[in-house]
Amino acid sequence: MRREYGIQSLKSLLPLLLVSGETGTIGEHGPLKVTMLKVGKADAIVLEQDRKALLIDTGEEDDGEDLVDFLFRENVKEIEYLIITHYDKDHVGGADTLIRTLPVKKAILPDYDSVSSEYREFLREAEKSGSELIRLNEDCEFNFGGCRVEIEVPSSFAGYDPDLDNDNDLSLITTVTYGEHRLLFMGDSEKKRLNEWLAKDHGQFTFMKFPHHGVYNSALGLLLSKTQPEYIAICDSKKNPADKETLELLEGRGTVFETKDGNILLRSNGREIEFTQN
């Protein structure tokens, strides 16, 4: 039986969706900054606009302090939204340190359980903090600054066995739209999840956070053909780089950045978009 740890269902999100309203015009908002942190073969992504922050994943346990230090340097004092795409240790590992150190208003999670210690530690800290935790079992949309955020869930979480099964194909997939640009964050989606997502027409994207750290699978060619991103970021490391087959597939398909070479910063005013890496 699931212990709820104060976690609420999608219904808790409905008031947020109803009151959030439409996004404003581009000129009403400051630039959108997206930083993909160099934290090894792990995802820790920070979106900032109008002095607000939205995070997608938190790296591994040891990355929590680095993530918090980065947020302090950015003068972030509170997290509006934390999206955990799935419960692998390289995505949820730093979440306990984050939520213990900084207020997190709403944390959005896929609607299944895990036996991992990192997941359990995060839930314990979340219960202490009083953050609102929302388990998604339906797609949802909300506003963040001048951006529209869409989160898509897999067709079903049923049948997942945390003792036996890989949960990459349960990843939440997030689209962030600001002005003329659409940004796609794929979590660790593998072939099954990608094929399911690609069954719908999602159109083209300016940017894609590439799925599963650049591990190759046969659905990636179709993913790139349908989404046609101009810019791609891979969260990998020098010790665990993207697969050779993936890098060969990406040749000539856009500008590719890898976090093994440093933090990747995307900045957009809704019209222009630029990337820097250090």
DSSP H helices in the chain: 14-20, 64-73, 89-92, 95-101, 117-129, 191-198, 220-227, 244-250
Whether residue 2 is contained in a domain is answered as: no
Retrieve residue 202's tokens: 């999602």
Mean pLDDT of 39-48: 98
Whether residue 237 is contained in a domain is answered as: yes
**d(C-alpha 175, C-alpha 185), whole Å:** 6
Mean pLDDT of 160-164: 85
**d(C-alpha 61, C-alpha 170), whole Å:** 21
**d(C-alpha 34, C-alpha 43), whole Å:** 13
**d(C-alpha 243, C-alpha 102), whole Å:** 35
Secondary structure of 106-129 in HEC code, one letter for each residue: EEEEECCCCCCHHHHHHHHHHHHH
Mean pLDDT of 208-226: 98
CATH number of residue 211's parent domain: 3.60.15.10
CA-based nearest residue to 179, from 21, 26, 23: 26
Mean pLDDT of 131-157: 97
Summarised one tens digit per residue, pLDDT across range 59-106 is 999 999 999 999 999 999 999 999 999 999 999 999 999 999 999 999
Whether residue 184 is contained in a domain is answered as: yes
Mean pLDDT of 261-265: 98
243 lies in which domain range?
Answer: 10-21+28-277
Whether residue 139 is contained in a domain is answered as: yes
Whether residue 1 is contained in a domain is answered as: no
> Is 128 a residue whose pLDDT tops 60?
yes
Whether residue 3 is contained in a domain is answered as: no
Q: Which amino acid is at 1?
A: M
Helix axes 191-198 and 220-227, enclosed angle (nearest 10): 30
Region of 257 (left: φ > 0; alpha: ψ -120 to 50; beta: rest) is beta
Q: Which amino acid is at 65?
A: E
Angle subtended at Cα 186 by Cα 224 and Cα 160, rounded to the nearest 5 degrees: 120
Helix, coil or strand: residue 166: coil
Global pTM reads 0.92
Number of domains observed in the structure of the chain? 1
Mean pLDDT of 249-276: 97
State the Rg of the chain over Cα.
17
Sign of the Cα pseudo-torsion (269, 270, 276, 278, in order): positive
Whether residue 64 is contained in a domain is answered as: yes
